[in-house]
């Protein structure tokens, strides 16, 4: 199959566009995968930890509200603490319902079901305590509170197990994001490297196939324009328009060289013949007394001159036809060079389309980096919530210590209250430790999120460098387009000069026909000399004048073709 310049340009840039499309598609796919994993990490795991921690805080607050209600000394305090317990019932159930939406594994579902069962058992008992306290039976209220505390401890154990499970799931999700990101980075670098190598290879191949042959033809055309026809034939074997252009160029050069050589030979012959004719006419005029004895020789010479002139006219006519063929070939070369210019314009447009696609890749990468930055900001808010929980735990611990001191002062009557205060202190310490663990986890997540943002910034920079490389490729196509336009102008100039040579050859042909006509008149005059020597002298004067005009035309023709070097 013949690969034209247009097909080569389309093949080269199609390959480059395919490589860029593969790189873009792979990057978009993996960015979408990272986005899904990050959403899962935040919505299903981090938010799940937040909800289950809220459940834990509500449970602890419920126990404290229950104890406060039992220890209340006035009816107003009992009602206030009872209302607080009812509000905590709703908050606990809401947190539990929110956490239910974040469950993704069966193990978490089982523990959630266990908490739900325990809560269904605890809630009626807590409501029962409210009713007992309202009746004023403190002893039964203390007994029921101890039973409720046992159920609460079980719920706390299950909640702690869920927190640990969510921590593991969050760590696993983070590892998945890290693996996908590492794989995406390596693959993107590899594809980018292959795209760069492919672009460089295509650029060098096109420059070797197009630019080098065009440069050779340009140099040869400049030498011919300077009159140097001794140039060697172009050795360009391209099986495309450039190869055809080189073949036509060689044919044009050889034809032009042949035409100029023939013109030189013919002008020399005409000059010699005109000099001989002039000498003969002068001798005839000076020796009219010998006309009778030499008239036969003069007639023979005149006849021969007529034949020579006719032959010269025929040669010049053939030369004019050859030069006309050269002009037609030059016009064909001009049309071919214009076609190459149009095809190079198509290549330049395709390069601009490649730049637009890479620009879209850059925008997608920047949007992904913005999403990860938003995730980092959300993790900062979670850290602030954990600090609030830590503060609550510290305050609870202080209240528990105060309660223990007051219980010690109360002696035997405050012993049960001291037990409750000690349990509250332990819960506060556990809440503080858990809050510290969550804070450390959030710090690690924030650090890794920052690393992801930094790497995405590097990816954005790599895409910008890809845009710059494609811009450079477009610039090179612009330079090729300008060079082809210059060649087109030079070929058109050669065509115009060949047209001028055609006009000159026509003038020479007309001069040869005039010479033939003069020679025939000379022959006729020589035949009439025998009748009138006066008429012969007049005819010799005309012959002398015509030979001088012919010599001038020959000199002008030699001067015109002397600029060419064969």
Mean pLDDT throughout 240-245?
74
Give the per-residue SS3 of 8-19: HHHHHHHHHHHH
* Residues 346 and 353 sit within 8 Å (Cβ to Cβ): no
Residue 169 domain-assigned?
no
Q: How confident is the model at residue 358 (pLDDT cuts 50, 70, 90)?
A: low
* Residues 92 and 119 sit within 8 Å (Cβ to Cβ): yes
3-state secondary structure of 244: helix
Q: Tell me the pLDDT tens digit for each residue of 141-196.
A: 889 989 999 999 999 999 998 989 888 888 888 888 888 888 888 888 988 888 88
Q: Tell me the pLDDT tens digit for each residue of 142-155.
A: 899 899 999 999 99
Structure-token pair, residue 108: 């978490």
pLDDT value, residue 386: 62
Q: Does the pLDDT at position 368 exceed 70?
A: no
Counting residues of the chain whose pLDDT is more than 70, the rounded percentage is 63
Query: Which domain does 263 fall in, by range?
Result: 237-351+484-561
Ordered DSSP codes for 421-480: HHHHHHHHHHHHHHHHHHHHHHHHHHHHHHHHHHHHHHHHHHHHHHHHHHHHHHHHHHHH
pLDDT value, residue 519: 47
Mean pLDDT of the chain: 74
Q: Tell me the pLDDT tens digit for each residue of 65-81.
A: 999 988 888 889 889 99
Q: How confident is the model at residue 287 (pLDDT cuts 50, 70, 90)?
A: low
Residue 322 domain-assigned?
yes
Q: Does the pLDDT at position 30 exceed 50?
A: yes
Q: Does the pLDDT at position 137 exceed 80?
A: yes
Residue 281 domain-assigned?
yes
In angstroms, the CA 43 to CA 49 distance is: 10
pTM of the entire structure? Answer: 0.36
Structure-token pair, residue 130: 């409210």
In angstroms, the CA 464 to CA 457 distance is: 11
Q: How confident is the model at residue 218 (pLDDT cuts 50, 70, 90)?
A: confident
Q: How confident is the model at residue 117 (pLDDT cuts 50, 70, 90)?
A: very high
Ordered DSSP codes for 492-547: HHHHHHHHHHHHHHHHHHHHHHHHHHHHHHHHHHHHHTTT-HHHHHHHHHHHHHHH
Least confident segment among 39-48, 123-132, 458-467: 458-467
Ordered DSSP codes for 278-317: HHHHHHHHHTGGGHHHHHHHHHHHHHHHHHHHHHHHHHHH
Q: Tell me the pLDDT tens digit for each residue of 308-340.
A: 657 755 755 675 576 577 557 656 656 755 665
In angstroms, the CA 288 to CA 536 distance is: 8
Residue 551 domain-assigned?
yes
Angle separating helix axes 212-225 and 415-528, nearest 10 degrees: 30
3-state secondary structure of 487: helix
Residue 258 sits in a domain whose CATH number is 1.10.287
Q: How confident is the model at residue 424 (pLDDT cuts 50, 70, 90)?
A: confident
**Gyration radius of the chain's alpha carbons:** 54
pLDDT value, residue 328: 73
The gap from C-alpha 534 to its chain's centroid, in whole angstroms, comes to 94
Q: Tell me the pLDDT tens digit for each residue of 530-565.
A: 565 567 667 666 766 766 776 677 677 667 666 666
Residue 533 domain-assigned?
yes
Give the phi and the psi of residue 565 in degrees, each rounded to 5. Answer: -110, 115
DSSP-derived letter for residue 71 is: T
Nearest to 132 by CA among 83, 91, 78: 78
Structure-token pair, residue 55: 């459940």
Please tell me which of 125-129, 428-432, 531-535 the model is most confident about, judged by mean pLDDT: 125-129
Q: Tell me the pLDDT tens digit for each residue of 477-524.
A: 567 567 656 756 765 675 676 567 557 656 645 755 664 575 466 557
Domain count, the chain: 1
Mean pLDDT throughout 30-56?
80
Residue 336 domain-assigned?
yes
Q: How confident is the model at residue 202 (pLDDT cuts 50, 70, 90)?
A: confident
CA distances from 147 to 58, 62, 71, 143, 420 (A): 18, 14, 17, 7, 13
Torsion sign, CA atoms 522, 524, 530, 536: negative
Residue 550 domain-assigned?
yes
Q: Does the pLDDT at position 126 exceed 80?
A: yes
Burial of 136 (0-12, 13-18, 19+ CB in 10 A): exposed
3-state secondary structure of 565: strand
Residue 460 domain-assigned?
no
pLDDT value, residue 566: 67
Tokens 């992904």 correspond to what residue? 368
Helices (H), 136-211: 138-206
């Amino acid at each position: 199959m013949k690969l034209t310049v247009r097909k080569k340009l389309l093949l080269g840039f199609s390959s480059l566009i395919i490589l860029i499309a593969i790189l873009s598609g792979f990057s978009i796919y993996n960015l979408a995968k990272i986005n899904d994993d990050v959403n899962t990490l935040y919505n299903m795991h981090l938010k799940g930890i937040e909800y289950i921690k809220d459940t834990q805080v509500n449970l602890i607050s419920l126990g404290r509200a229950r104890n406060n209600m039992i220890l209340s000394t006035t009816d107003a305090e009992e009602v206030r603490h009872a209302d607080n317990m009812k509000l905590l019932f709703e908050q606990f159930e809401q947190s539990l319902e929110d956490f239910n939406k974040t469950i993704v594994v069966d193990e978490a579902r089982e523990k959630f079901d266990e908490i739900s069962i325990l809560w269904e058992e605890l809630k009626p008992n807590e409501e029962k305590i409210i009713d007992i306290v309202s009746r004023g039976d403190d002893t039964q209220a203390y007994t029921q509170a101890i039973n409720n505390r046992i159920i609460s401890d079980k719920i706390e154990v299950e909640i702690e197990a869920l927190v640990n499970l969510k921590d593991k799931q969050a760590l696993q999700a983070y590892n998945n994001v890290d693996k996908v990101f590492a794989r995406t980075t390596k693959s993107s670098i590899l594809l980018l490297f292959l795209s760069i190598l492919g672009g460089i290879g295509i650029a060098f191949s096109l420059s070797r196939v197009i630019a080098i042959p065009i440069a050779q033809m340009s140099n040869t055309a400049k030498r011919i324009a300077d009159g140097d026809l001794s140039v060697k034939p172009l050795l360009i074997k391209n099986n495309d328009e450039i190869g055809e252009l080189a073949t036509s160029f060689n044919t044009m050069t050889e034809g032009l060289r042949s035409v100029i050589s023939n013109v030189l030979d013919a002008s020399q012959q005409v000059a010699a013949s005109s000099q001989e004719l002039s000498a003969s006419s002068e001798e005839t005029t000076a020796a009219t007394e010998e006309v009778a004895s030499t008239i036969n020789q003069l007639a023979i010479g005149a006849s021969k001159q007529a034949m020579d002139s006719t032959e010269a006219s025929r040669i010049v006519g053939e030369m004019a036809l050859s030069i006309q063929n050269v002009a037609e070939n030059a016009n064909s070369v001009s049309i071919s060079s214009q076609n190459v210019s149009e095809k190079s314009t198509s290549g330049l447009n395709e390069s601009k389309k490649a730049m637009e696609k890479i620009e879209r890749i850059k925008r997608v990468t920047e949007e992904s980096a913005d999403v990860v930055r938003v995730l980092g900001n959300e993790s900062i808010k979670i850290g602030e919530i954990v600090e609030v929980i830590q503060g609550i735990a510290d305050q609870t611990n202080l209240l528990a210590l105060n309660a223990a001191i007051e219980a010690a002062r109360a002696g035997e009557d405050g012993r049960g209250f001291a037990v409750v205060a000690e349990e509250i202190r332990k819960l506060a310490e556990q809440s503080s430790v858990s809050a510290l663990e969550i804070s450390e986890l959030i710090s690690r997540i924030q650090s890794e999120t920052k690393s992801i943002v930094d790497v995405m910034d590097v990816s954005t920079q790599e895409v910008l460098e890809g845009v710059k490389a494609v811009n450079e490729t477009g610039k090179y196509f612009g330079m090729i387009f300008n060079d082809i336009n210059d060649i087109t102008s030079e070929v058109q100039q050669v065509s115009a000069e060949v047209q001028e040579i055609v006009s000159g050859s026509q003038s020479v042909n007309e001069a040869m026909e005039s010479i033939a006509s003069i020679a025939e008149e000379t022959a006729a005059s020589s035949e009439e000399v025998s009748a009138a020597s006066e008429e012969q002298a007049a005819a010799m004067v005309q012959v002398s004048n015509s030979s001088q005009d012919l010599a001038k035309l020959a000199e002008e023709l030699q001067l015109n073709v002397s600029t060419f070097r064969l």
